Amino acid sequence: MKLIVGLGNPDKEYLNTFHNLGFMAVEECARLLDATFTKIKCRAQLAETRINGQKVILAKPQTYMNLSGESVRELVTFFKIDISDLVVLYDDYDLEKGALRLRENGSAGTHNGMRNIVKELGTENFKRIRIGFKPDTESKIPLLNLVLSGISEQDKPVFEKAITRAANSAKEFAEGKTFQSIMQKYNGKSN
């Protein structure tokens, strides 16, 4: 069984913000897998499908970003997910706008949602797909406000491409491809 988690905030006011890039990517992954978010369990919206006889769960925690780990821990426990079968998609200020960075483990960095997941799971050893949104020029907006800023019309094509690439990488994870091969294919910025 695979668990693909996209991070974000549930209220409509956050729909088009950088902090919801994880939600956008997991929604696109669900579309690619022909799965629909119809269930609520473990304080998350869920979509389920099967690939090669194996169940795949896509989740959008509804706990708000800073408490994402509570929902992820509940999902891992309830569905008896092996940590090696978990991948988390989320936004990352430290990466160039539109770039992807896939890793098999690592620290949470400056991301409060990831910090909470690491705390709740008690490990940093789970896969992640990070979507960069660092501004081209130094921003005078505090990071707390920047992550909740709307994505501009000018930047939408860059993020649509990044979201599609992130969703495809998560889809390949669900299909059972090795994470090493997925990392080689998707890490960096698309041309």
Active site residues: 19
Asked if residue 182 lies in contact with residue 102, where contact means CB atoms within 8 angstroms, the answer is yes
Query: What whole-number distance in Å separates Cα of residue 38 and Cα of residue 40?
Result: 7
Phi, psi values for residue 174, rounded to 5°? -65, -30
Q: In what order do the strands lie in the sheet with 44-51?
A: 39-41, 44-51, 54-61, 2-6, 86-96, 127-134, 100-103
In order of 13, 52, 56, 68, the CA distances from 72 in angstroms are 23, 24, 15, 6
In order of 6, 26, 144, 184, 186, the CA distances from 31 in angstroms are 14, 9, 30, 24, 19
Query: What whole-number distance in Å separates Cα of residue 177 and Cα of residue 174?
Result: 8
Q: Which residues pair with 89 in a beta bridge?
A: 6, 129
